[in-house]
Amino acid sequence: MYNLLKKNIAISAIFALFTCANFAVALDAEMLSLPVLDNIFGKPKTTEEQTEIKDFQNKTIRVLLSNKGIFDQKEFVFSSDSEMFVKANGSFVTNSSSPIKITKDEEYLLLETQGIIQKIPSNQKIIIQTNSSPIRIEGFKKGGKNAAYKGSLEVFSAKGTSLRVINIIDIEDYIKGVVPNEMPTYFGLEALKAQAISARGYAYRDATFKTTGYDVCDTTGSQVYNGANSYDAVSDKAIDETMGQFALYNGKIILSLYSSTSGGHTENYENTFSQNGTDIKFPAEPIPYLKGVPDIDENLDLTREANAKDFYTQKPDSFETASPKYRWEYTYTKEELTEILKKNLAKFSKSPFVKPSLTNTNDFGNLIDIDIPKRGVSGKAMYARITTDRTTFLIAKEIMIRQIFTYKNSWLPSANIIIERIEDGHNLVGFKIYGGGFGHGVGLSQYGAMGMAKRGYTYDQILKHYYSGISIGSYPVECNLKELKNCKSTFYAPDKNATLILNYPQKPHDITFKINGHEVAISANKLSKNQGEADLRKWIKKGINTIEVSSYDTGILDFSNPSIKFYAELGTNNEK
């Protein structure tokens, strides 16, 4: 996700698939963040069908770390204000209050501290941790500060003599290193709370790297994570006061996409992203909670060209008007745009979203016209058509449109575009592109969240505006009743208004929960169709709450493998 709104920053990596493979590109750094889910061939990081919720009930996450977007390093030097302890494959190696240097030769990881070098087989992993202080990685800079990390650091072999490092960290400490780097703290506490819940859910749901040995990386390929030295008191408060909370749909953590600025109306997921599979499909399958919603009082039909033109060539009041990219416009001469299109159509000639392919720029011909044959609910261009005297090119999908119609070597901020011809008499001399928004425009709008917070909306109202039909609740725990392992949920509640939601995959059982130390029995005969709920207001408190299964009654002849799924659904504020 892009870390923007910071001047003169070169942001490394565009595509999720390439970002964690050292594909560095400089982008416009004036704006906020957006999750980029596709590579140039359109394969999404995850789909509703493919995604599996990670088992983070142990509350740790594995983050692949980079320095200036580069993950493979020839050496690491670690230091801390506390004594560091080193293990390899679970066995103690050494402890040191002095810096620890790790390099690699053809056979070994070389660990050096206090003048002593120890050789560790290159197929092993080195774990470094302390009892208190964060661990610094010398030479790593994050947000202009020296990088430091809570939790532990795992060093392992990469290609050749290179090394990589993973930060194994508590999920809430990870989110504290994400939120202030994805949203400025002046956006307000309620906006930051909404961002915290979106970022937490995105971390749990992101399945891009689940087979690689780490869960996320620290760049735009996942979410920008800058470690402990980027923590901020205001965003820390937002995270602490939403600890363990998620946006849920039908009892599952949602894929909480977000972007900087929607342009006044968010877009449906399927109109923006493609579907991965044997054959790449665009539009994708819909995701019910990722539906386009307006940020203005009027509910216009922006799929119609005339309405979209009126909307994006004007600046109607919305939650996002403070965004510097709420409205923008670019002007090209015919010759300038011709050269841009020839170059980029050839560059992406192998993409399934460019038809036909252009392998020889001399075959482009004379540019005659450009139009948008189909728009999404936000007015976003789903397709762009380029007509020349030799052929007609059709470009599909917003991310490809933004890359084809570049301006001064940068992507278009969004695909919410209106294209106008500039004529001198009857001669075509150029084009003007009017646009609105920055990013893919699906899910939460960060500037919209700020605008809603400034108008008095609470974080749950913000989230429910941008994610259709969701609730806010604790982690949905799936508990094996016979083993009673991982049967505990901890979360922050803003007040006493909460409901326990129960689901039995098999038949219901009498069950006893311990809620903040109070034994609460729930009878199976009160459940309907293996589902039920219980009012928690008597036991829930404002602040940190704990719910865990303490016992259950199977019945004397029950030989099944009973389980239960449960979570606390938090109360709803009055809608504005």
Q: What is the pLDDT of residues 196-244, one digit of tens each?
A: 999 999 888 765 565 678 889 999 888 999 999 999 999 999 999 999 9
The pLDDT confidence band at residue 532, using thresholds 50, 70 and 90, is confident
Higher pLDDT, 540 or 551: 540
Q: What is the pLDDT of residue 529?
A: 73
Alpha-carbon span 296 to 307, nearest angstrom: 14
- What are the structural domain ranges in the chain? 74-161, 328-435, 476-570
Does position 12 have pLDDT exceeding 50, yes or no?
no
Residues 6+ apart with CB under 8 A from 497: 537, 540, 570, 571
Does position 476 have pLDDT exceeding 60, yes or no?
yes
Tokens 């004036």 correspond to what residue? Answer: 30
The pLDDT confidence band at residue 3, using thresholds 50, 70 and 90, is very low
SS3 call for 225: coil
Rounded mean pLDDT, 51-58? 44
Name the DSSP letter for residue 559: -
Alpha-carbon span 266 to 466, nearest angstrom: 8
Residues 6+ apart with CB under 8 A from 143: 6, 181, 226, 229, 230
Does position 503 have pLDDT exceeding 70, yes or no?
yes
Q: What is the pLDDT of residue 208?
A: 55
Question: Which among 475, 348, 369 has a CA at the least distance from the CA of 420?
Answer: 369
Rounded mean pLDDT, 317-323? 96
Q: What is the pLDDT of residue 34?
A: 33
Higher pLDDT, 360 or 530: 360
CATH of 74-161, one of 1.10.1200.10, 2.60.200.30, 2.30.30.190, 1.10.3720.10: 2.60.200.30
> Mutual orientation of helices 459-466 and 189-205 as an angle, nearest 10°?
50
Tokens encoding 63:
């983050």
Tokens encoding 45:
């990081």
Residue ranges of alpha helices (H) inside 425-539 are 446-454, 459-466
Q: Distances in Å between the alpha carbon of 273 and those of 289, 301, 488? A: 15, 21, 36
Q: Distances in Å between the alpha carbon of 56 and those of 22, 65, 257, 478? A: 27, 19, 19, 12
Does position 47 have pLDDT exceeding 70, yes or no?
no
Question: Which among 107, 25, 99 has a CA at the least distance from the CA of 69?
Answer: 25
Does position 405 have pLDDT exceeding 50, yes or no?
yes
The pLDDT confidence band at residue 556, using thresholds 50, 70 and 90, is low
Mean pLDDT, the chain, rounded, equals 87
Pairing of strands 60-64, 216-217: parallel
Could you give the percent of the chain with pLDDT greater than 70? 87
Q: What is the pLDDT of residue 347?
A: 96
- What is the dihedral sign for C-alpha 168, 171, 172, 178? positive
Does position 22 have pLDDT exceeding 80, yes or no?
no
Number of alpha helices (DSSP H) and beta strands (DSSP E) in the chain: 10, 33
Alpha-carbon span 372 to 385, nearest angstrom: 6
Domain 476-570 sits in which CATH superfamily? Galactose-binding domain-like (2.60.120.260)
The pLDDT confidence band at residue 507, using thresholds 50, 70 and 90, is confident
Q: What is the pLDDT of residue 211?
A: 62
Alpha-carbon span 172 to 478, nearest angstrom: 20
Same fold, 74-161 and 476-570: no
Alpha-carbon span 507 to 119, nearest angstrom: 56
pLDDT, tens digit, 9 for 90 and up, residues 105-141 = 989 999 999 999 999 999 999 999 999 999 999 999 9
Alpha-carbon span 551 to 162, nearest angstrom: 50
Pairing of strands 252-253, 510-515: unpaired
Residue type present at position 58 = N
Residue type present at position 365 = G
Rounded mean pLDDT, 327-342? 98
Does position 183 have pLDDT exceeding 50, yes or no?
yes
Q: Distances in Å between the alpha carbon of 544 and those of 182, 189, 491? A: 25, 18, 6
> Mutual orientation of helices 189-205 and 446-454 as an angle, nearest 10°?
150
Q: What is the pLDDT of residue 481?
A: 85
Does position 42 have pLDDT exceeding 60, yes or no?
no
Does position 10 have pLDDT exceeding 60, yes or no?
no
pLDDT, tens digit, 9 for 90 and up, residues 141-163 = 998 889 999 999 999 999 999 99
pLDDT, tens digit, 9 for 90 and up, residues 62-88 = 999 999 999 999 999 999 999 999 999
Rounded mean pLDDT, 186-201? 97
The pLDDT confidence band at residue 103, using thresholds 50, 70 and 90, is very high
Tokens encoding 321:
């008007």
Rounded mean pLDDT, 44-67? 60
Alpha-carbon span 70 to 25, nearest angstrom: 12
Does position 56 have pLDDT exceeding 90, yes or no?
no
Question: Which among 81, 89, 90, 86 has a CA at the least distance from the CA of 102?
Answer: 86
- HEC states along 349-415? CCCCCEECCCCCHHHCCCEEEEEEEEECCCCCEEEEEEEECCCEEEEECHHHHHHHCCECCECCCCC
Q: What is the pLDDT of residue 553?
A: 76
pLDDT, tens digit, 9 for 90 and up, residues 270-315 = 999 999 876 789 999 999 999 999 998 777 899 999 999 999 999 9
Alpha-carbon span 437 to 415, nearest angstrom: 8
How are strands ordered across the β-sheet holding 367-375?
354-355, 392-396, 381-388, 367-375
Does position 171 have pLDDT exceeding 50, yes or no?
yes
Alpha-carbon span 397 to 270, nearest angstrom: 10
Does position 43 have pLDDT exceeding 80, yes or no?
no
